[in-house]
Structure 1
């Protein structure tokens, strides 16, 4: 059993700020009271140990309370991306079979109403073995997989991250990553474990983030294009640590950040490892690697250069599949440099990381192939100054079709960030002897156009 980190922080720092959202702030005693009430609301709704609670919502304080209350109820929180298109949601709900649906879902209970009048539940130690979250990710097939993360995995990741990032009581962590992503959840866990303040934003807004950094936020998590937009505001900041994931940041961006007062640390993480796996160390970051493994985590390079991970932060396994073994094979490629730091050469096969969002080509290709005029298609990553990468669709048609029609077709079926930003029409796609699309050859063709 694990002492509830929120209850501990409320006991040690009852008056310290715990959560700020806009003009509202909750201290640790008040946040603990809210979570006790949300725990009571879950029990009132019939939620029991092992049940699943699905929520779909932009960032808001109720989602933080729900995350922490689910740990106490030993129920699994299953947050869905608020940007998903309508047709994407029912299959996910069918797989999850939730006891309760909250927020922007068919028959979902409004978050503002769910805990009204609920009877608070007393604090108690938490079962570290209980599944705390079920987070959707994807393999190279494009079929969403649901990673089951136990409370002990989130807790262990928070402790290790706090040690590396120097997060402690009195730290103030800017949280603009979405709470349906493991990165957003990890910020919340780091703060309650340390007794730090979580400065929650409803969404990323460069001016709002710059203002909070200017006013003394000590930590923030961005992807590279977010950091660039914050720096574009032209402000200078008090010293702060900025964690950058979702792909390496360009060296000129790192230099701009340092000149503005920010220390940027590259990190490599996975949904399946409750967020961080490796991270550069404060005072030693040079942007040439993703840093050292977190305390308690081991990283090796396996067959064919694949990154493999072992440690306390790993998921139990994917929903509907057997538990994973001792080592997680990530599918990512990298090497360990002489100083023991991880250098990531490629993210998961074919993965497009666009503005911090993972876009899986197979999923987009399936949507395009559903159009009657499309005979064959491949989607590959293409460099983009603002988003890092975007999708570039190479399409073989069986009947005339306009690029705009294909774009509307995709956006009707998938979230807008998944839609390709560029299209090209080819007579045929290059394929290897196995019949698979030669994606490297296709990239060469596209670059020559």
Structure 2
């Protein structure tokens, strides 16, 4: 295999892989497999066609594609031109898409219509006359990606990476433990940061990707068995649904091929984490914490987690501090806001378009993603919740994630969202939306929760729903859900529409 050491332009990495082992499987989805030669050919043709539409070094190209080989070919084509892929959901409503594109001002949009801009369908790569030969040189994009986030405000922003368009795969693999002979299962939507990063890093490290169009529990487990998947990333929602299926059919799935299961993107309830450690063993479970902004990343394996249950680990690059409301470092065990900074001397790891970072006046160079947490005596970090998700009920702090972890342990519960709804007496009332397909009895689940949590943390109201609460990447839009719950509560209290 070609030498992986040292930084190389992202567009060149695929060319090197295809030259080394052209017939090696690169991407499989459904019954279709693309070899490295197939992917390189498609990316080269696209790059040349995009160039005829004016795409060049430093330009943004908005990518609004579903999971599949075309997504990967499109992104590699953009990198081969020294341009930056700007990622959005293909299901983004037109007004939201227009707002993002207004910030990005891309040269081209692939996968979605946008008035006034050149647009292409995902499968389009020009006519047969366009060459698929390798390029002679590979310009390096100023930023290797620019994903989109609505954050907690609901207003879109772009997170433009501070990393340019070259990568040292060997250095990265020392953290992610991706091996060239791995088969990686891609479970999440590629417009989200974690599936995008880990699948492209794996592909460039030589992995064979098995891509799901979207996460479905049995499809994921079947893929692990059929393709002998050895490396995958999941979110806690996926872990919970897979565990339910594994317990219901304990002899149906052989997970012996799995060498590394990583989880991220949301808080994992300790009971769920422990169940997976029991299932696969502590050597094969890994967790990371960090943001798309990439200032810092923590890592913890199963052995460390058993010694520090509930922790997300210690920093493997960058630094974090937990500060109280007065800006002083918190003592071990004291909850505060987590502030981050990249390794000293590395320069900014990101910049926003459409927003400003949350900084601290007393700590120049440190900023916050809005998470709350604490450290223990050994320096391990523990997350509590998002600062904006914190519920203050009757003067007491309630962390939704803590309550959700208890509710989701109740049999038959697929997921849960705990929100603070307006209350004249308490200021905010703790309310739980429970995702389930089973006819649960509220009094039973209420008793279960009240036996495990202090009274002020227990939901005062419940609503049961069969609709998914989180998207395919495990993300929960709390602001939108809170608005819905407030509207439902108001409608219930005023059936005649009276105010």
Task: Give the stretch that moved more between structures: 130-139 or 311-320.
Answer: 311-320
Check 1:393–1:154 CA distance in 2 against 1; reply closer, same or farther (3 A cut). Answer: farther
| 2:485 match | 422
SS, match of residue 288 in structure 2: strand
Equivalent in 182, 189, 199 of residue 171 of structure 1: 182
| Pairing 1:310–2:342 present | yes
| Pairing 1:199–2:183 present | no
| 1:270 match | 291
Distance in 2, matches of 1:266 and 1:187, equals 13
Distance in 2, matches of 1:259 and 1:419, equals 34
SS, match of residue 422 in structure 1: helix
Distance in 2, matches of 1:42 and 1:395, equals 55
What displacement does 1:310 show?
A: 0.8
Check 1:129–1:57 CA distance in 2 against 1; reply closer, same or farther (3 A cut). Answer: closer
Distance in 2, matches of 1:279 and 1:226, equals 20
Distance in 2, matches of 1:232 and 1:29, equals 39
| 2:368 match | 329
SS, match of residue 147 in structure 2: strand
Task: Give the stretch that moved more between structures: 335-344 or 118-127.
Answer: 118-127
Distance in 1, matches of 2:207 and 2:383, equals 31
| 2:102 match | 94
| 2:38 match | 30
Aligned ranges 1:281-320 → 2 under 5 Å: 281=301, 283-286=303-306, 287-294=309-316, 296-302=317-323, 303=327, 305-311=337-343, 315-319=349-353
Larger Rg: 2
1:301-348 per-position Cα deviation (integer Å, ceiling 9, x unaligned): 353542313145964311267899854433322334344432222235
| 1:406 match | none
Distance in 2, matches of 1:106 and 1:387, equals 36
Distance in 1, matches of 2:418 and 2:66, equals 23
Distance in 2, matches of 1:305 and 1:70, equals 37
Distance in 2, matches of 1:159 and 1:15, equals 22
5+ residue gaps, structure 2: 1-6, 247-252, 328-335, 392-399, 409-413, 425-474, 492-499
Check 1:306–1:260 CA distance in 2 against 1; reply closer, same or farther (3 A cut). Answer: closer
Task: Say if 1:130 and 1:151, in contact at 8 Å, map to a contact too.
Answer: yes
| 2:224 match | 213
What displacement does 1:252 show?
A: 2.5
Q: What's the TM-score, normalizing by structure 2? A: 0.67
Task: Say if 1:76 and 1:133, in contact at 8 Å, map to a contact too.
Answer: yes
Aligned residues: 380
User: Relative contact order: is structure 1 or structure 2 higher (C-alpha 8 Å, sep ≥ 6)?
Assistant: 1
Check 1:322–1:121 CA distance in 2 against 1; reply closer, same or farther (3 A cut). Answer: farther
Task: Say if 2:82 and 2:140, in contact at 8 Å, map to a contact too.
Answer: no
What displacement does 1:57 show?
A: 2.4
What displacement does 1:268 show?
A: 0.8
Task: Say if 1:72 and 1:124, in contact at 8 Å, map to a contact too.
Answer: no
1:170-209 per-position Cα deviation (integer Å, ceiling 9, x unaligned): 0111112111111121022221331111211111111111
Q: What's the TM-score, normalizing by structure 1? A: 0.73
Check 1:313–1:81 CA distance in 2 against 1; reply closer, same or farther (3 A cut). Answer: farther
More strand by share: 1
Equivalent in 123, 143, 153 of residue 155 of structure 2: 143
| 2:262 match | 243
Task: Say if 1:298 and 1:310, in contact at 8 Å, map to a contact too.
Answer: yes
CA RMSD across the alignment: 3.5
Check 1:261–1:314 CA distance in 2 against 1; reply closer, same or farther (3 A cut). Answer: farther
| Pairing 1:40–2:48 present | yes
Aligned ranges 1:45-194 → 2 under 5 Å: 45-106=53-114, 108-117=119-128, 118-120=130-132, 122-123=134-135, 126=138, 130-152=142-164, 155=167, 162-194=173-205
Distance in 2, matches of 1:351 and 1:289, equals 19
Distance in 2, matches of 1:416 and 1:328, equals 23
| 2:8 match | 2
Distance in 1, matches of 2:232 and 2:158, equals 27
| 1:231 match | 243
| 2:417 match | 389
Check 1:82–1:95 CA distance in 2 against 1; reply closer, same or farther (3 A cut). Answer: same
